[in-house]
Structure 1
């Protein structure tokens, strides 16, 4: 019940109650949340208070709103461990999900200066420019833009790019991937990202920049990935 004498604000108490019901499984993914009016009548609180609690939970990814339909419990976020370098395909298969990619763009282009510097190649050297929607069980998870040196990775085709490029490098070219440098930040989705990820414009996303290297330190790819923040979270173990 709501304790109106508690120093904790009423909206925060309601928010915590709903969050606990979701995390305990009382409310499952896809379940419909009671209406604002029902919460008001049940607890004797204002609609503005209820709305603030629901807005906070929606921003945190626990709930999703569908215009004209109501408010629903979101699907659980998938955790990606930051220990170990895995491809999207490997990661989804390990979760029992079916990975797939929708190829939006595939072209060999001259490297612009910033890409050339990142890949340690001369400016205007040929690079693959690949843009893909990475999906799990048919649902868009990330919008990915990749640049790979064409002279280092011969024979890459659009058909290969719809699957695992890492598998092609390691199994067909015997190119040993060793490590990557990765930066993750929270940003709001652009109109393009919102369109391809099927999320409202301005939604929070996790933007990841990954530069991958071979055992001798040669850069083999640079990737920018926009992950849906309502479907993904990154987890790491930090030791003292």
Structure 2
């Protein structure tokens, strides 16, 4: 409750109250906050005071505003350390989030020059081309295009593509995945990105290209991913 006799500013109490409701799960990610008018009426304070408390939480990225719609609870950012190689499924499970995939396409195609170069094969070699939207707690996080040489996984089937490919490669194919090289750059969401990731066209995304290698130095996969910039960020530890 709000204590108007407290030396703590009322806007700060409002901020703390909303923050606690978010942490306690009373207000959930994506949920709209009551209007400033409703808050002001409930706690008997001015709308300006309510606005200041809410603005502080927006600046902390715990809330976000959508013009003409209101203020909403932000989804927590997902951190991925760059020092360890993990799959998307492993990342989500480590954060106690439910991983998922929406399969958009699964085809055998001839490798183009660029794909062949990354996979270390001849141009025209048959590869699996897999396009998926990756989900965390049912929310789209990344649009992912994966290429795998058919010879490496001749029995790969659609049923595998709704879970972890790395688990399939290690447990079913008996491969030892050794390492990966990633390049990351910032891009803006295209119309396709926006529709599939449920963001506005032109929203910031992280474009990531990963080349994963097996223990014998063969390239296992080439993956092109577009991650939502508002939900995902990478962390690296450096020493001098």
Instruction: Give the structure-2-normalised TM-score.
Output: 0.77
Count of residues in Structure 1 that have an aligned counterpart in Structure 2: 209
SS for the counterpart of 2:167 is helix
Cα shift readout 1:60-106 (whole Å, capped 9, x = no counterpart): 96543335421223112111111211111111111111111110000
Is 1:237 aligned to residue 237 of structure 2? yes
Contact 1:211 1:219 in 2 (8 A): yes
Contact 1:27 1:73 in 2 (8 A): no
Change (3 A) 1:107 1:180: same
Partner of 1:42: 48
SS for the counterpart of 1:25 is helix
Change (3 A) 1:27 1:204: farther
Alignment of 1:83-94 (within 5 A): 83-94=83-94
Unaligned runs of 5+ in 1: 1-16, 44-49
Cα shift readout 1:17-75 (whole Å, capped 9, x = no counterpart): 99xx59x935735463876xx9x9738xxxxxx9xxx7xx68x9654333542122311
Q: How large is the RMSD of aligned CA atoms in angstroms?
A: 2.8
Is 1:25 aligned to residue 16 of structure 2? no
Partner of 1:175: 175
SS for the counterpart of 1:121 is coil
Cα shift readout 1:177-221 (whole Å, capped 9, x = no counterpart): 000001111111111111100111111111111110111221110
Instruction: Give the structure-1-normalised TM-score.
Output: 0.77
Is 1:154 aligned to residue 126 of structure 2? no
